[in-house]
Amino acid sequence: MNLEQADIKSLQQWMCNGELTSVELCQFYLERIETYDRRGPVLNSVIELNPDGLEQAEQFDLERSKKRLPRSPSRDSNFNQGQH
């Protein structure tokens, strides 16, 4: 599983299959933002992060574990408030 190259359809499929959680995806992107946007090359491409992002990801995973209908792909990656 290559999260850096994955499209939204693949991410959604992995989450529905239990191969990836919303928390794992959120943590992956938070780490990438820290590496490339805050340290490293300091791209400054992320204006603001959702301070409740990990909590929301946990809720998404809980909903998915209860076998509710799949969430829309954009809701599963809703930790980011905005980018420029």
DSSP character for 83?
Answer: E
Question: What is the extent of the structural domain holding 50?
Answer: 8-83
Q: C-alpha dihedral over 46, 72, 27, 30, to 10 degrees?
A: 0
Residue 21 lies in a domain: yes
Position 31 scores a pLDDT of 94
80 has which bridge partners? 49
**42: phi > 0 → left, psi -120 to 50 → alpha, else beta; which?**
left
Residue 3 lies in a domain: no
Residue 48 main-chain phi, psi, to 5 deg: -150, 140
Position 65 scores a pLDDT of 87
pLDDT digits (tens, 9 = 90+) for 4-29: 999 999 999 999 889 999 999 999 99
Q: How many domains does the chain have?
A: 1
Position 81 scores a pLDDT of 47
Residue 29 lies in a domain: yes
Q: Helices then strands (H, E): number in the chain?
A: 4, 2
37: confidence class by pLDDT, cuts 50, 70, 90: confident
Residue 67 lies in a domain: yes
Residue 59 has a CB neighbour count (10 Å cut-off) of: 13
